[in-house]
Structures are given as C-alpha cells and as structure tokens.
C-alpha cells in the first residue's frame, strides 16, 4: 500500500507471531508500512505475514529470539536488506510466566528468563536498531511496558513487574540521548489485555479472572487493538513531539483506589 498513516515507513516488530504483535503487523501493513515481523516461532510469524499481505500490505517474517544477540543482529540486517532502512523499532516481545510470583518464591531461572526477554531483548534490538534509525535521519522506538510497573500488586509477578519498570526507565534514557538526533522513544503501559500471554493461564481461572476484572472501571479486559491504536500513533508522524512518555492504556485500572 502507498497510502495510510505509515506510508513509506519500515517497521520492525518483535513478538509478531501472536497477540498484540500479530495485530500490529497486520494493522501497520494496512496503514502502508512495510513490516518486518520478528518472532521465535517463524512459521506462526509467516502466517501473520500472509494475513497482512492478503490485506494488501507488505511484510516479511524473520526468525528472532530477542534474548540472543546474534539473532537480533541478523534480524536487523534482514530488515535493511529487504526494505533498505528501518523507521520504527516496536519492542513488543515479552514473557509473563505463571510461575513468576513474589521474590521470595520465584525461581532464579524464571527471573533470568523474564529479564532476558523483557529487558535484554529491548536493549539488543535498540543496540543494533538505533544505528539504522540514525542512518535514516531518525525514527520512533516503541517499547511495551505494563501498568504493573506503575503500581504495586497484592498478587505479584515480581520478575515481570521489575522488567517492565526497567523498560520505562530505559525508554526515558533513550528519549534524552537520541531525541536531539531525531529519534523519539516512548513506552506503552497496557492494562490486562486478552492475548495468549494472559489467557493461557489467568483467564482460565474464574476467581483470578474476576479478581482482576473487578478492578477495571471500563468493565472489560483490553483488546490487542486498544494497544495497537496507541502504537500506531507513536509510529506515525502525528507523534513527532511525543518523546519520553509512558502512556497508560489500561481501562482505568491504575486509577482505581477501591
């Protein structure tokens, strides 16, 4: 597509095989972007790409484990080889394991896995992607954080919470470093979203589901498109003066005292 809010832009999206990443891949392609859909599950990413292409968009699938530097480097190279540049780095990949609890009863291997994907992954994509943005005269970095980085929780997932707090802090550092060079960096803090990451365990438990749903003033969990709508704004030129923000899209859950 040559028209749309993202016409002419090349967007690299991690965790693109499902959930918010899949929604973003298809939506961005429909808005005129050429999308590099990165995921560990290459076959699933290819299916998402086929959907994007069927809608008239341009997209390719790239195998990438964001926690492995060699794979990130090769993914960035593949994007530039295919489309000549990168305008947007969309760090969406993340893990939210069911055995992530309080610090006192979370296994070290769980902690290490969560931090490796959720924080190291953002670092590696930015490490190898930012030079491409600079070579292109600037661009946009979109990092997916979480509302749990902003408030405490009596049902903790401490590794996940710590990782998303780190994402916000890193986002602000990048905003200050690279804003003067034309790169704006922003984080989105979603509330509970109905994606495979959440539904594979939490929403199967009625009591756990009700406990969280009762906290959301809007009366429902979020949908992938609720977050992708914000990401679309951050990816396009409408957000040219939005930099260093942690934008909360949570149905009001962080505003709910009782």
Task: For residue range 46-81, list pLDDT tens digits in order.
Answer: 999 999 999 999 999 999 999 999 999 999 999 999
Q: Which pLDDT band, with edges at 50, 70 and 90, does 200 fall under?
A: low
160 a catalytic residue = yes
pLDDT value at position 97? 92
Alpha carbons 48 and 52: distance in angstroms, whole number: 6
pTM: 0.95
pLDDT value at position 241? 98
Q: What is the mean pLDDT of the chain?
A: 95
CB atoms within 10 A of CB 170: 20
User: Among 90, 160, 178, 233, which one carries the catalytic annotation?
Assistant: 160
Whether the pLDDT of residue 34 is over 70: the answer is yes
pLDDT value at position 39? 98
What token pair was written down for 39? 């995921």
pLDDT value at position 1? 54
CB 156 within 8 A of CB 193: no
Q: How far out from the chain centre does Cα 123 lie?
A: 13
Q: Which pLDDT band, with edges at 50, 70 and 90, does 258 fall under?
A: confident
The answer to whether domain 10-195+224-249 has CATH 3.40.50.10140 is no
N-terminal to C-terminal alpha carbon distance within the chain? 47
H-type alpha helices, the chain: 19-30, 42-54, 69-83, 108-115, 121-135, 158-178, 196-199, 206-213, 224-235
Alpha carbons 97 and 210: distance in angstroms, whole number: 20
Strand partners, 16: none
């Amino acid at each position: 597509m040559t028209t749309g809010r993202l016409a002419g832009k090349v967007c690299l999206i991690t965790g693109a095989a499902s959930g918010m990443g899949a929604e973003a891949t298809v939506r961005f392609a429909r808005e005129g972007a050429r999308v590099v859909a990165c995921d560990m599950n290459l076959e699933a990413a290819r299916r998402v790409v086929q959907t994007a292409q069927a809608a008239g968009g341009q997209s390719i699938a790239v195998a990438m484990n964001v926690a492995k530097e060699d794979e990130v480097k090769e993914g960035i190279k593949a994007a530039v080889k295919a489309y000549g540049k990168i305008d947007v780095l969309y760090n969406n990949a993340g893990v939210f394991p069911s055995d992530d609890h309080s610090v006192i009863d979370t296994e070290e291997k769980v902690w290490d896995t969560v931090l490796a994907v959720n924080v190291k992954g953002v670092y590696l994509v930015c490490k190898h992607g930012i030079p491409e943005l600079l070579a292109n005269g600037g661009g946009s970095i979109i990092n997916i954080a979480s509302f749990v980085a902003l408030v405490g929780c009596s049902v903790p997932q401490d590794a996940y919470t710590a990782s998303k707090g780190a994402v916000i802090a890193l986002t602000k550092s990048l905003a200050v470093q690279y804003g003067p060079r034309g790169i704006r960096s922003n984080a989105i803090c979603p509330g509970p979203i109905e994606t495979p990451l959440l539904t594979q365990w939490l929403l199967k438990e009625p009591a756990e589901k009700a406990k969280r749903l009762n906290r959301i003033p809007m009366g429902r969990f979020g949908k992938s498109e609720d977050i992708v709508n914000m990401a679309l704004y951050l990816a396009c030129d409408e957000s040219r003066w939005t930099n260093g923000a942690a934008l909360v899209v949570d149905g009001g859950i962080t505003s709910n005292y009782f």
